[in-house]
Amino acid sequence: MASSTSEHRNPIVPVEFTKGANGLDKVILREVRGSSAEIYLYGGQVTSWKNEHREELLFISSKAIFKPPKAIRGGIPICFPQFAGHGSLEQHGFARNRFWSVDPDPPPFPTNPSNKAYIDLILKPSEEDLKIWPHSFVFRLRVTLGSGGDLMLTSRIRNTNTDGKPFSFTFAYHTYFSVSDISEVRVEGLETLDYLDNLQNKERFTEQGDAITFESEQVDKIYLSTPTKIAILDHERKRTIVIRKDGLPDAVVWNPWDKKAKAMADFGDDEYKHMLCVEATAIEKPITLKPGEEWKGRQELSAVPSSYCSGQLDPQIVLRGS
């Protein structure tokens, strides 16, 4: 009873508007059991996701530069309208280094009425954006912290061109996960799939039957036609992160390893040991929208205790589960 009384005295504020690094606007989402998420309006970027034990589940580099126009290194950058160098725009497009606004009139979402920890953001192109990518669009993003601490991102992109022209884009939730030790981590759900290796001129290969592990070198692969569920198993933390996705057929797995880490000014030399990007993406087949059409891409992240089976983590329980 004591805890409920204290909660009654100090009710959780589900949505708080505040200032973050360098005075940038930030939104904090909180859930009654203690989980939280933080979103910067710069980039529309989630920069923190903590479980009920206040443990950080996302990775942000200690050298991240929270200063426009530099993108924030870590969290969940949004790559739009271009992933990486797949086009003529700057690396990963421009959505991740634009200032988003709070959406004053968000579209209706099917939501749990008891869930109040969410924020709706909106991005429209500026005159400068239209010069480098001459297409009118409205990008709506909802970030929701579920009652169990799950983190959900839903993107809705609409073609608002008045000239009758369609446009095409590639997209990624470039999620950086915090891990105990990269050598103790494995990724399940991508076995036997074809992938494009970005380190070998996007040559196509087929993944072997085993889980993906990380031992001695940089990894940068685009897995194609992936399942809607992928699991990251962290042996040391006895934790599994489950990624569920809709509208995003591909998945990127990236770790820069030591040489690439040292070459990045906004990334610590040894931080590659404690992070892993597993990204829900649409890359191989760009999305095309005619005027008035809308695309939706969704990612849901959850963290669950790993179950052990004969001394090994058993991800199939997680992958088969709901």
Residues serving a catalytic function are 174, 279
Residue type at position 107: P
Is the distance from CB of 247 to CB of 296 less than 8 angstroms?
yes
Beta bridge partners of 81: none
Q: What is the CA radius of gyration of the chain?
A: 20
Q: How far is CA 311 from the centre of its chain?
A: 31
For residue 23 the two structure tokens come to 């005075």
The alpha carbon dihedral of 61, 237, 313, 228 has a sign of negative
Q: How far is CA 250 from the centre of its chain?
A: 13
Q: Residue 256's closest CA among 73, 29, 112, 1?
A: 73
Q: Cα(26)–Cα(23) distance, rounded to whole angstroms?
A: 9
Q: Cα(25)–Cα(102) distance, rounded to whole angstroms?
A: 11
For residue 127 the two structure tokens come to 């005159």
Burial track 18-51 (b if 16+ CB lie within 10 A, e otherwise): eebeeebbbbbbbbeeebbbbbbbbbbbbbbbbb
The answer for residues whose C-beta is within 8 angstroms of residue 274's C-beta and 6 or more apart is 59, 178, 179, 180, 181, 182
